[in-house]
Every structure is written in structure tokens, then in C-alpha cells.
Amino acid sequence: DLTVLSALAESLQDVLQYKAAEGEAMKEDVQVKDLALRRCGKAIAGEEGARQIGAVLIACRATMRSLTVDRCALGPKGADILGPYLQDHRQLLHLSVRGNAIGGPSGIKLARIVADLKHMVSLSLADNGLEGDKVARAIAAMLAARDNWLRVELAGNDLGDSGCVTIVKHGVELGGGSPRLDSIDLSRCGARHKALVALSRVAKRSPLLRRLRMSHSRLARADSKIIAALVHSAPPPLLTLDLRHCELSEKVVQNLLEPLGHGSCVNERLEQLLLSGNTVFGNDSIAALLPPALDGLPALTTLALGSCALPNATLATLLAVLCAGSDDERLCPQLSTLELAGNELRGDACEAMLANLLRCRRPVCRRVARVRRQL
């Protein structure tokens, strides 16, 4: 709460004054490199909380590398106060202010400040009520200011398809290409087909891109070849592809899975394939593509198929092929998380699932997600 923050700031300032009196170098004053405040809620909300965080930052100016203030109810006023404190932290590498409802105008001010922090490589502005073209342009300008970005998270801001395109095209693609970009998250941002096209171009030009997240995007009319290329083509060697709740069409899923099952394509890099919430798998012919497709994903560790309306026959086959065989012969030998929550299991299928799991001897299989059983 505010009392703790105030005491922390005062104690750090005392150390600063003592070191200064002893004539020691500023860089040796206080070796605090990471400050993380999460889910503090109203305890440090608003302007006073931002001032106390700023006081801590002042005391750690020479050493602070990472600042996390997630879901602390800063609001617009708190963000406006915190922003100027960041200006003096040129060495800051990571900044996360998720879930603080800072809003558009304050978001624009913060983006302009971050644009001048030349060493920053990781930024999360998720769930902050950032909307509209002005915000999108400010974020794009911030990203275009340099090409050393590693991770950018904007999830949960209703930027719309045009806003996402502006950020990806003018911020990432034209802003030096961000050749070091490792992860970009536009989940729940209202992205559609045009944003996907822009992201696919970035993926081709960013050889280090490992994680692409677009969950809850409306991709019903997306070009099936673009999504398939994210898995089949090299580059990009993605480790994570998140397309949960994206309204994927039959053609998209077919073009994504068929080459993997026919042996014409093997992706030895993909570790997480997240497809939950796409009810197209309720179609028997589409669902039947799943089990054979696993043969083309030998590095898979996480497979998410929750709330996909999977037919019981497909569920039974999927579990049978995953649990069968010796360690050397088994499909997806590294699989540790199988998400099936929300798929209805009827009597025989539930019995078969439990039998397969009891027989399974996977050394790395630690968890099978909750399954809603209808018996």
C-alpha cells in the first residue's frame, strides 16, 4: 500500500544521502534493478501512488532496468504523473503497465515518453482502454523510433483492424523492420484480415520472431494461405501461434492441418499451437485432420483445443494416438499440456479417455486440462 511504498522510497533516499556524504559514485548507490507491483488495486491507486512509485524510481535512477505496475488502478491521472519520472530512466529495458485503464490521451503521452527511452526493448500496454486512430498512430511512432524491440504486448485494447494495421505497418514493418522482434501480441484488439496480412509480412522480415498472438480476432474471411504459411514456411520459425477464438473457417483449418498430416510438411520448431474456441472443429471431416497432423509437429509441448465442439470420435482417436506407443515412437513426445476444457464427452468417449490416460506412460505429461463431462 502507500505506506509501504513511502517507506521504501524514504529508505532508498536515506541510502542515497549516506552514499553521497561518503563521496561514492552514483552507480554504486542502490542496486535495485527490478521493481514489480502487481494487483495492488486501490491500495496505491491514482496520483499519490504514482508519486510514490516515482520517488522509488528517483532513488534507483542509476540501476533500474525493469518496472512492472500491473493492475494497480493508476488511471489517466496516475499515468500522467508517472510518465515524467520515466523520462530520467534512459537505461530502462522493460516496462509493463497492464490493466491500469489509462485511456487514450494518457496513452498517447506515455507513448511519446517511451519513444525517447532508447534502450527499452520490452513494453506491455495491455488492457488499458486504448482506442482510436490517434492512439494507434502514437504507438506506431513510438515503435518506429528504433529497431531494437524484442516484445510488444497490446492485448485487450480495442484498436480495430485499421489501428492494428497502422501499428504493424508504420510502427514495426516500416520502422526498421524490428529485426530482433521476438513476440507481438494483438489479442482482443479487434484485428481482422488486413492486420493478419500486415503481421505475415513482418513475420517474413523478422527472422527472430517466435511468438505471434492474435486470439479473439475475427479471421473468418482470412486468406487460408497466409495462416498456413505461418506454420509451414521457414522463416518464420514460430514457437507459439495463438489463434484462439478467431472464427477460423473450414478452408483455413484444412490448409493448416492437411500438409502436416500428409507428410509434405514438418515443423520442427512449433511448441504451442493454441486453437481453442474455433467451433469449425465440430465438423467431422475437419476434426479428423487433427490426429494425423500431429505427426508433423514433433516439438509440440502445448495443444489447446478447448471449446472446439470436437466430436467424441475425434477426441477418442486423439487421446489414443497421443497415449500409444513407446517413447521413441510416440507422437509429440514433448507434449505436456493438452487443453480440452469445454468439449462434451459422452459415456463411451469418457471411458475411453480415462482408459487411455491410465495407460499413458508419458514422462513429461503433467496435466490434462479439465474436461466437462456429459455422461
Q: In tens digits, what is the pLDDT along the chain, a chain of 375 residues? A: 777 777 777 776 666 565 555 555 444 445 778 888 888 877 777 788 888 888 888 877 778 899 999 998 899 999 999 999 998 887 899 999 999 999 999 999 999 999 999 899 999 999 999 998 999 999 999 998 888 899 999 999 999 999 999 999 888 876 555 678 889 999 999 999 999 999 888 888 777 889 999 999 999 888 888 888 888 876 657 899 999 999 999 999 999 999 988 777 888 889 999 999 999 999 989 989 998 999 889 999 999 999 999 888 888 888 888 877 655 566 888 888 888 888 887 777 777 777 777 666 655 444 444 444 333
DSSP-based helix, strand, coil % in the chain, nearest 5: 45, 10, 45
Whole-angstrom distance, CA of residue 270 vs CA of residue 233: 12
Q: 3-class SS at 292?
A: helix
pTM: 0.84
Q: Which residues sit opposite 212 in a β-bridge? A: 184, 241
**Given this model, what pLDDT does residue 177 score?**
55
Whole-angstrom distance, CA of residue 217 vs CA of residue 163: 13
Whole-angstrom distance, CA of residue 176 vs CA of residue 69: 29
**Given this model, what pLDDT does residue 27 score?**
45
Query: Environment class of residue 6 by beta-carbon count within 10 Å: exposed (0-12), middle (13-18) or buried (19+)?
Result: middle
- In degrees and rounded to multiples of 5, residue 259 shows phi and psi of -60, -30
Whole-angstrom distance, CA of residue 97 vs CA of residue 218: 26
Query: Environment class of residue 263 by beta-carbon count within 10 Å: exposed (0-12), middle (13-18) or buried (19+)?
Result: exposed
CA dihedral 134, 139, 144, 145 (to 10 degrees): 100
Based on its alpha-carbon atoms, the radius of gyration of the chain, rounded to whole angstroms, reads 24
Whole-angstrom distance, CA of residue 43 vs CA of residue 228: 47
Q: Are strands 240-242 and 94-96 parallel, antiparallel or unpaired?
A: unpaired
